[in-house]
């Protein structure tokens, strides 16, 4: 009799325990962000409120910022920055478009010029122009339909073909210089590039060829490249580290699609020279932007974070942390970059709006022509 | 002998008001919870996000628009992609099973020195991030590489080999887990009846292993069908699969219309496979005679004895041993050794510099944290994910292992089983993007889960749950129901039966399940990479960051970090193997 | 026999199985009523598939009862889960817990009842003694022989002193010699511990050996419940007699009433529906001395002879009242050669009179208030 009751009691305890566990889990889930909400509430009351409190900065996987600088910024302004990373520039932009009605955060960094107008057209961003934006930066800014700046440029760089100096020296072959050189028999089976459908430098290079050859000619150019033994990899890592002869992977091909800054990372032992070089006539310029998200809970503080990304102190860390050139001319640039990683003087360019309009069609046409 | 007066067990009085329905309330509540908790988990963190996102693709301007199907199916490329997806999945699964079954025998049924180490080793590929596997494989196969003469780079064969590389361990462990506990006497009886060892295997052991093989094959098929990174890296776009196409359409084009059509196609394929697998399992379902695995172990014996007493290659373990040795050495170890050797080279000379650099944040600060910090993050997240997967997966396995008396119940149980397999077969992109559009207010709660740190282990747990279920379930199902009945008649309440019969018998597989879930979570990169996640880099993310940047140090560090990940996995699996439930006479 | 509410009472119990897709449910137990008094051992005897195991499982609470009632001491067991019935169950193949030692298995039920460690140890030792396995406590069950496993299973089932012990073909998986020895041991163990038991078997020797009363089942119904001697002497029907091993059924009217071998005596009846059931030892071989055939003897041809300890067992083609039948008879002297012409006579002690199709006999069950 007694043990019967005992068993019953235990069953009930177990049931109660499970309920408690579910409740605890719910609370734990709630606890993860409830403090954010609580703190955000007062500051979101109006843009006139003081720009403090939590800011969620949504960014791509390659974002990196100096920890000490961030701590100093937070201390000075009373803003706490929560960094959320997700995928590459394309994924980031598309996720922001999808979550337009319920934004993931307050500010964004990492939308590039190939996705810029998609984000702007979708109404993902709020108007914001940094008060002391350098004029050199302003030339890259992207405006919304009302003519007010929405995307604030932070950094830029060139996607260019890179060559392995050592390989060409050893083989006694002259290095290529132009896009057309690559279709010559002397460079058969030597080039590896990235797929524009799956890689952001790949897309940049496709746009470079469209800029250079025109919409009518670029597919023929690619067919010629293919006929000359072009290899297409899915990602930069794969092309640079597995197929390229000038990197640590010691692959078989001496011409690779990378960045104009890459040669600064292949210095000789005494650091007096670099073993690779960029072909500056093959470059497409990528610009990365920051902005305040439309519907942000804390827009005033978000704007401050965007401004901060353009500040001289942050800009000076960009080459080392994000491998791009700062848009702020006052920022310092490493000596190795000045020496070995110059930017193209006349990069190939396609207007952002055209990219947004045609991206899918161009990539599909490219896929049909090159991949089949 | 029994001199004392007979005092029968105190008669537990019949309940004063016997419930005519038969089942006591507490028991119904407990089983109800065991069903509801996992189901709620699945709905909130899988079904709802996926359906919402797929639904978005079929709604244009507030109207249902199914035109995407017509468009997609009139494109030859769609058909080619579906064909390639099925082709590589079928070949990858077949090869994994064919090579994995002998492996399960050698690694779980035979006893030989070093077995534990090799068991752990074969798990390592399973958790390596694709980007690392890409490097490990492609640098071997690339023109001028050590295996360049095979001309496999960028071929379909390379993809299938890589799929086997990843999934071999799934077959070995799932099948081996059951095999180790199979009563050897049935096979011995067949041998005694004059069956050759091959015939005894085919007619006795193989049918007994069928549920585990079906289990493993269905998991591997789902992994192969949704393989993403490995296909992209090794095959390129010409071998595009449904998964890679969904990824491109969603992340690059934001063409949800096409992506949704493809997601539905993927769901149909996956559901069909799960149906076939569940039918196969159900038909083979039976109570097996399970012994202690120590008792059924036997020493590895390479040679058989011919009729005249001479050594014969047929009767012994030579064939499975050679097959396993070739797979382990050539297919699994070579890429891993290649990785290790490369991580130990700096400027063409042996060096530990890459490992010393792991305490730093990379060449000029490529990382926001050191690799060791990232490792700690990984372990922490994996612990949470494992705990969630174990609770949810354990409950599912428990419920599914029961055979309800009524057919409706049996069908419900089978459906539940298949439902929890779905996350393996649905694109991580769809799940990840689905989270974004649903979890801003999950169940109407004012909690933005999308950017909460907990979402990462939850997403990993969604993928680890099927692994737990598939590892534990065959063993639970193989427990003779009469063993539980025996315990019941000895007075054990259902909870106690569970604790004293099911748990100790399943404990060995529970250890494996923990290891599996932990390792899977440790190496998980696919699903995680589609989430918005706080800036707490995990080891795979750190590796990805390192290898995504130029610079001598970063590449070397990425390789060294990969080796750390591999070693960590091996250690975890070795430790999981020690979690035995063989405590004599004790109760857990 | 069973007083009101004393011990187990099974009344009109029906057990059905869902037979799978597109098949009607199978009725395994079809309205069975039985009573088992405290301290009594009842055997459920019947061919495989007759529903005896299903009935046992229903009593244990392992199968739901579709209709009817199972009560213990007058208390209805409907809704009482298996583990609260206080009934022990022993399976054909033991079902020992493979992850526990012998002692770990035996003490399982005691641990459930939170018996203190010392008392548990004593009880385990005591029961291992009862089943003849002293000192086996620390053995792994995987190392036991089939007979040893069954002994452990019995000890395990007896350990918590169940109100009722249910035994499901506990000896069937064992070889003959072991089975006979264990049957004796089982009877002794049940008597010594005073355990009430229901014992399922398809072997009538086993049932007679162990049980106080035997219930014969066929096709889900109980045909007869009786003590072994009663059952043997007066099978309620031809079906029961057939199952008990009666080998031939001759119309009672065909026998010479004045003949020396007429069976039945006071119980015998010569009604037209009655027949004489010839038991396995119901025929004797007479020396064929060529003299005139005595009444109630029949000519036969020897097919083969086998020596048994209790006499020679002769298989022969008997030209009996029902035509030529191949039957077995007992010969007192030397084994006759195959082909020998002999005569056979009925041995009344080995025969019984049965109705041709007697209705299934149900035991009278006292009505519960």
Residue of B nearest to C22 (CA): B407
* pLDDT tens digits in sequence order for chain A, 372 residues long: 333 333 333 333 444 444 444 444 444 433 344 344 433 333 333 344 468 899 999 998 888 888 889 999 999 999 999 998 888 888 899 989 988 888 989 999 999 998 998 899 999 999 999 988 998 889 899 998 888 999 999 999 999 999 999 999 999 999 999 999 999 999 999 999 999 988 889 999 999 999 999 999 999 999 999 999 999 988 888 899 889 998 887 889 999 999 999 998 888 888 888 999 999 999 999 999 999 999 999 999 999 999 999 999 999 999 988 889 999 999 999 888 888 989 999 999 898 889 989 988 999 899 888 886
Contacts of A86 in chain B (CB under 8 A): 529-533
Give a yes or no: residue A48 inside a domain.
yes
Q: Is A298 on the interface with B (CB under 8 A)?
A: no
Q: Tell whether A308 and A192 lie within a shared domain.
A: no
Q: How far apart are CA B575 and CA B522, in angstroms?
A: 15
Q: CB-hemisphere CA count at 13 Å for A347?
A: 23
Q: Do A104 and B236 touch (CB under 8 A)?
A: no
C-alpha dist (Å) from residue B311 to B187, B199, B397, C127: 21, 19, 45, 50
Q: Is residue B61 packed enough to be buried (19+ CB in 10 Å), middle (13-18) or exposed (0-12)? A: exposed
Q: Which residues pair with A253 in a beta bridge?
A: A244
Average pLDDT over residues B46-51: 92
Same domain, A227 and A180: yes
* Same structural domain, A205 and A130: no
Q: Is residue A64 part of a domain?
A: yes
Q: Do B14 and C62 touch (CB under 8 A)?
A: no
Which residue from C72, C91, C82, C63 is spatially nearest to C34, judged by alpha carbons?
A: C72
- Pairwise CA distance, residues A233 & C299, whole Å: 99
Token readout for B570 is: 């091996």
* Residue range(s) defining the domain that contains residue A75: 12-156+286-334
The tokens for B267 are 């769901």
Q: Are residues A207 and A291 in the same domain?
A: no
The pLDDT tens digits for B61-110 are: 778 888 888 888 888 888 888 898 999 999 999 999 999 999 999 998 88
Which residues of chain A are within 8 Å of residue B435 when distances are taken between CB atoms? Answer: none
Are A228 and A162 in a shared domain?
A: yes
- C244: pLDDT strictly greater than 50: yes
Please choose, from the candidates B1, B4, B46, B8, the residue with its C-alpha nearest in 3D space to the C-alpha of residue B396.
B46
Provide the chain B residues 258-317 that lie in CB contact (below 8 A) with chain C. Answer: 290-292, 295
Token pair for B94: 């077949």
Min Cα–Cα distance to chain A from C81, Å: 11
Distances (CA, A) of C183 to B278, C106, C168, C177, C194: 44, 20, 13, 10, 16
Q: Quick check: is A37 in a domain?
A: yes
The answer to whether B154 and B181 are in contact (CB under 8 A) is no
Q: What is the pLDDT of residues B215-248, one digit of tens each?
A: 889 889 988 888 877 777 777 667 778 888 888 8
Neighbours of C81 (CB within 10 A): 18
Partner-chain contact B6 C98, CB within 8 Å: no
Residues A209 and A233 in one domain: yes
CA B454, CA B442: separation in Å to the nearest integer? Answer: 13
Query: What sections of B58-184 are H helices per DSSP?
Result: 67-73, 76-104, 115-127, 130-141, 156-179
Domains of chain B: 36-56+346-588 (1.10.3720.10), 66-298+311-343 (1.10.3720.10)
Chain-chain contact of A251 with B233 (C-beta, under 8 angstroms): no
Using CB atoms, which residue from B9, B494, B583 is nearest to C161?
B9
| Residue A196 and residue A280 in one domain | yes
Whether residue A3 is contained in a domain is answered as no
Show residues of chain A in contact with C84, CB under 8 Å: 4
- What is the pLDDT, as a whole number, of residue B11? 46
Query: In which region does residue A36 sit, left (phi positive, over 0), alpha (psi from -120 to 50) or beta (all else)?
Result: alpha
Give just the sign of the alpha carbon dihedral C358, C359, C365, C369.
negative
Q: How confident is residue C1, by pLDDT bands cut at 50, 70 and 90? A: very low
- B33 CB within 8 Å of a chain A CB: yes
Residue C228 near residue C214 (C-beta atoms within 8 A) = yes
Could you tell me the pLDDT band of residue B408, with boundaries at 50, 70 and 90? confident
Reported ipTM: the value is 0.79
Nearest to A242 by CA among B525, B349, B555, B333: B555
Half-sphere exposure of A335 (CA within 13 A, CB side): 4
Copy the structure tokens of residue B35: 């069903």
**Within the 339-358 window of chain B, which residues sit less than 8 Å (CB to CB) from chain A?**
347
A6 in a structural domain: no
pLDDT in tens, C289-332: 666 667 778 888 899 888 887 778 899 898 888 888 889 888 87
8 A C-beta contact, residue B523 and residue B569: yes
Instruction: Tell me whether residue A197 is in a domain.
Output: yes
Whole-number Å distance between alpha carbons of A238 and B134: 7
d(CA A208, CA A188): 21
Name the closest residue on chain A to residue B384, using Cα atoms. A25
Contact of B382 with B520, CB cutoff 8 Å:
no
What is the domain count for chain A? 2
- For residue A129, give the CATH number of its domain: 3.40.190.10
- Which residues in chain C are closer than 8 Å to A3, comparing Cβ atoms? 113-114
Other CB atoms within 10 A of residue A267 CB = 18
pLDDT in tens, B312-347: 655 567 888 899 999 999 888 998 898 898 889 887
Contacts of A4 in chain C (CB under 8 A): 84
Residue B12 neighbours by CB under 8 Å, 6+ apart: A1, A3, A4, C80, C84, C85, C86
User: Which of these ranges, B500-504, C98-102, C354-358, has the smallest mean pLDDT?
Assistant: C354-358
Cβ–Cβ contact C23 with A under 8 A: no
pLDDT at site A206 = 95
d(CA B186, CA B179): 12
Q: Domain check: are A134 and A174 in the same one? A: no
**Same domain assignment for residues A118 and A230:** no
DSSP category for residue C73: T
Q: CA-CA distance, B329 to B334, in Å (whole number)?
A: 6
The domains of chain C are located at: 7-233, 238-254+265-355
pLDDT at B307: 57
Answer yes or no: do B1 and C97 touch at CB < 8 A. no
Q: For C113, which residue in chain A has the nearest alpha carbon?
A: A3
Helix (H) or strand (E) holding C29: strand C26-36
CA distance C179 to chain B (A): 22
Going from the C-alpha of C215 to that of each of C54, C235, C236, the distances in angstroms are 14, 11, 11
Residue of A nearest to B141 (CA): A242
pLDDT band at B454 (very low <50, low <70, confident <90, very high): confident
- Partner residue opposite A84 with nearest CB, options B27, B29, B533: B533
Same domain, residue pair A108 and A162:
no
Return d(Cα B79, Cα B16) in angstroms, integer.
67
The answer, for C21 touching chain A at a CB cutoff of 8 Å, is no
Q: CB–CB of B238 and A372 under 8 A?
A: yes
DSSP labels, A107-129: EEEEEETTTHHHHHHTT-EE---
- Judged by average pLDDT, the poorest of A292-296, C185-189, C216-220 is C185-189
Residues from chain B contacting residue A29 (CB–CB below 8 Å): 442, 445, 447, 449, 452, 454
Strands (E), A7-138: 53-59, 79-85, 107-112, 125-126
The hierarchical CATH code for the domain C238-254+265-355 is 2.40.50.140
**In the prediction, which pLDDT does C262 show?**
47
pTM equals 0.77
Same domain, A103 and A89: yes
* C7-233: in CATH 3.30.420.10: no
Q: Is residue A41 part of a domain?
A: yes
Quote the CA–CA distance of B516 and B511 in Å, as a whole number. Answer: 9
Pairwise CA distance, residues C25 & C27, whole Å: 6
- 3-class DSSP state of C40: coil
The owner of tokens 């023929």 is A220
Burial class of residue C319 (count of CB atoms within 10 Å of its CB; 0-12, 13-18, 19+): middle
Strands (E), C170-255: 196-201, 213-218, 221-226, 248-251
Q: Are B210 and B284 in contact (CB under 8 A)?
A: yes
Pairwise CB contact (< 8 Å): A94 & B556: no
Cβ contact A241–B248 (<8 Å): no
Whether residues A51 and A142 fall in one domain:
yes
Q: How far is A53 from chain B (nearest CA, A)?
A: 17
| pLDDT single digits (tens) C10-65 | 999 999 887 655 667 788 899 999 999 998 999 999 888 888 989 999 999 888 89
């Amino acid at each position: 009799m007694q043990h019967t009751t005992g068993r019953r009691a235990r069953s009930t305890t177990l049931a109660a325990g499970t309920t408690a566990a579910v409740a605890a889990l719910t609370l734990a889930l709630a606890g993860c962000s409830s403090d954010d909400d609580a703190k955000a509430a007062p500051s979101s009351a109006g843009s006139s409120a003081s720009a403090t409190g939590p800011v969620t900065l949504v960014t791509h996987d390659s974002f990196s910022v100096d920890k000490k600088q961030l701590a100093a910024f937070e201390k000075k302004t009373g803003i706490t920055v929560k960094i959320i990373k997700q995928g590459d520039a394309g994924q980031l932009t598309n996720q922001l478009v999808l979550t337009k009605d319920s934004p993931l955060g307050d500010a964004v960094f990492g939308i590039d010029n190939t996705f810029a107008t998609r984000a702007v057209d979708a109404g993902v961003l709020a108007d914001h122009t940094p008060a002391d934006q350098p004029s050199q930066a302003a030339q890259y800014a992207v405006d919304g339909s009302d003519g007010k700046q929405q995307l604030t440029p932070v950094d830029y760089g060139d996607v260019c073909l890179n060559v392995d100096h050592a390989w060409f020296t050893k083989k006694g072959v002259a290095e290529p210089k132009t896009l057309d050189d690559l279709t010559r028999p002397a460079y058969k089976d030597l080039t590896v590039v990235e797929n524009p459908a799956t890689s952001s430098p790949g897309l940049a290079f496709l746009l470079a060829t469209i800029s250079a050859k025109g919409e009518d000619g670029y597919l023929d150019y690619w067919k010629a490249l293919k006929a000359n033994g072009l290899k297409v990899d899915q990602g930069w890592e794969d092309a640079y580290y597995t197929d390229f002869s000038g990197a640590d992977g010691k692959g078989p091909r001496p011409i690779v699609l990378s960045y104009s800054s890459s040669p600064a990372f292949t210095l000789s032992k005494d650091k007096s020279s670099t073993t690779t070089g960029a072909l500056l006539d093959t470059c497409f310029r990528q610009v990365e932007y920051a902005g305040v998200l439309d519907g942000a809970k804390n827009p005033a503080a978000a704007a401050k974070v965007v401004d901060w990304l353009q500040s001289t102190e942050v800009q000076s860390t960009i080459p080392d942390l994000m491998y791009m050139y700062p848009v702020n001319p006052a920022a310092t640039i490493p000596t190795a970059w000045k020496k070995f990683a110059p930017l193209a003087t006349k990069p190939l360019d396609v207007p952002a709006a055209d990219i947004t309009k045609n991206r899918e069609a161009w990539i599909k046409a490219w896929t049909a022509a090159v991949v089949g | 002998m029994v001199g004392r007066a007979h005092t029968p067990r105190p008669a537990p009085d019949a309940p004063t008001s016997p419930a005519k329905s038969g089942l006591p309330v507490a028991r119904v509540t407990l089983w109800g919870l065991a069903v509801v908790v996992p189901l709620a988990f699945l709905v909130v963190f899988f079904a709802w996000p996926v359906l919402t996102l797929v639904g978005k693709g079929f709604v244009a301007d507030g109207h249902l628009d199914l035109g995407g199907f017509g468009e997609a199916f009139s494109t030859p490329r769609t058909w080619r992609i579906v064909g390639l997806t099925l082709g590589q999945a079928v070949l990858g699964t077949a090869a994994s099973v064919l090579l994995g079954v002998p492996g399960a025998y050698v690694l779980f049924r035979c006893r030989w020195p070093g077995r534990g180490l090799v068991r752990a080793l074969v798990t390592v590929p399973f958790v390596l991030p694709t980007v690392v596997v890409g490097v490990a494989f492609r640098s071997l196969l690339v023109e001028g590489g050590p295996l360049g003469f095979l001309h496999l780079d960028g071929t379909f064969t390379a993809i299938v080999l890589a799929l086997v590389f990843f999934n071999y361990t799934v077959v070995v462990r799932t099948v081996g887990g059951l095999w180790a506990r199979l009563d050897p006497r049935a096979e011995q009886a067949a041998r005694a009846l004059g069956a050759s060892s091959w015939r005894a295997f085919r007619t006795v052991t193989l049918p007994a292993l069928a549920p585990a093989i079906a289990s493993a094959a269905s998991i591997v098929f789902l992994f192969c069908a949704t393989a993403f990174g490995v296909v992209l890296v090794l095959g390129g776009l010409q071998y595009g699969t449904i998964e890679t196409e969904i990824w491109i359409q969603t992340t690059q084009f934001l063409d949800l219309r096409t992506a949704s059509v493809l997601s539905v196609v993927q769901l149909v394929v996956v559901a069909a496979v799960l149906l076939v697998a569940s039918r196969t399992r159900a038909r083979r379902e039976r109570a097996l005679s399970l012994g202690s695995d120590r008792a059924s172990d036997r020493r590895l014996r390479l040679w058989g004895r011919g009729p005249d007493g001479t050594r014969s290659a047929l009767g012994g373990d030579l064939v499975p041993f050679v097959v396993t040795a070739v797979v382990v050495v050539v297919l699994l170890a070579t890429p891993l050794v290649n990785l290790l050797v490369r991580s130990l080279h700096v400027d063409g000379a042996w060096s530990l510099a890459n490992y010393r650099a792991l305490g730093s944040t990379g060449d000029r600060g490529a990382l926001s944290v050191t690799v060791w910090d990232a490792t700690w993050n990984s372990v922490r997240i994996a612990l949470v994910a494992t705990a969630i997967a174990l609770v949810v997966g354990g409950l599912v396995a428990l419920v599914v292992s029961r055979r309800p008396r009524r057919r409706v119940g049996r069908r419900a149980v089978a459906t539940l089983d298949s439902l929890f397999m779905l996350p393996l077969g649905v694109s991580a992109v769809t799940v990840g993007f689905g989270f974004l559009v649903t979890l801003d207010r999950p169940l109407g709660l004012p909690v933005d889960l999308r950017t909460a740190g907990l979402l990462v282990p939850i997403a990993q747990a969604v993928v680890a749950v099927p692994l737990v279920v598939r590892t534990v379930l065959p063993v639970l199902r193989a427990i003779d129901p009469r063993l539980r009945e025996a315990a019941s008649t000895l007075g054990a309440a259902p909870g106690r039966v569970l604790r004293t019969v099911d748990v100790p018998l399943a404990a060995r597989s529970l250890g494996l399940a923990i290891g599996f879930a932990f390792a899977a979570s440790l190496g998980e990169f696919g699903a995680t990479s589609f989430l918005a996640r706080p800036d707490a880099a995990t080891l795979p993310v750190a590796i990805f960051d390192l290898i995504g940047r130029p610079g001598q140090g970063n590449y070397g560090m990425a390789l060294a970090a990969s080796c750390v990940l591999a070693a960590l996995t091996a250690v975890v699996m070795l430790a999981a193997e020690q979690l035995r439930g063989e405590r004599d006479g004790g109760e857990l | 026999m069973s007083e009101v509410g004393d011990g187990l009472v099974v009344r009109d119990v029906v057990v059905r199985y869902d037979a799978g897709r597109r098949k009607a449910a199978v009725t395994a137990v079809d309205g069975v009523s039985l009573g088992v008094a405290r301290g009594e051992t009842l055997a459920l005897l019947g061919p495989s598939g007759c529903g005896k195991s299903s009935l046992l499982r229903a009593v244990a609470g392992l199968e739901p009862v579709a209709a009817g009632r199972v009560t213990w001491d007058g208390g209805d067991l409907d809704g009482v889960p298996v583990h609260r019935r206080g009934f022990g169950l022993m399976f054909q193949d033991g079902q020992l817990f493979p992850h526990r030692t012998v002692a770990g298995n035996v003490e399982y039920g005691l641990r459930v009842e939170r018996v203190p460690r010392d008392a548990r140890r004593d009880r385990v030792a005591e029961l291992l003694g009862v089943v003849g396995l002293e000192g086996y406590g620390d053995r792994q069950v995987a190392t036991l022989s089939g007979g040893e496993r069954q002994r452990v299973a019995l000890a395990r089932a007896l350990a918590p002193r169940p109100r009722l012990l249910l035994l499901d073909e506990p000896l069937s998986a064992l070889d003959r010699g072991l089975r006979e020895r264990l049957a004796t041991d089982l009877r002794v163990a049940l008597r010594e511990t005073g355990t009430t038991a229901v014992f399922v078997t398809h072997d009538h020797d086993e049932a007679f050996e162990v049980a106080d009363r035997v219930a014969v089942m066929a096709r889900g119904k109980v045909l007869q419940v009786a003590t072994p001697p009663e059952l043997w002497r007066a099978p309620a029907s031809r079906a029961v007699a057939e199952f008990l091993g009666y080998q031939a059924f001759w119309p009672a009217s065909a026998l010479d009433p004045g003949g020396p071998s007429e069976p039945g005596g006071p119980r015998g009846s010569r009604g037209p529906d009655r027949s004489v059931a010839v038991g396995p030892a119901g025929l004797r071989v007479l020396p064929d001395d060529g003299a005139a055939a005595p009444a109630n003897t029949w000519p036969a041809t020897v097919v083969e002879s086998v020596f048994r300890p209790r006499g020679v067992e002769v298989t022969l083609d008997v030209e009996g009242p029902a035509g030529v039948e191949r039957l077995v008879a007992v010969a007192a002297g030397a084994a006759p050669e195959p082909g020998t012409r002999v005569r056979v006579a009925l041995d009344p002690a080995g025969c019984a009179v049965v109705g041709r199709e007697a209705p299934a006999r149900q035991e009278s069950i006292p009505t519960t208030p």
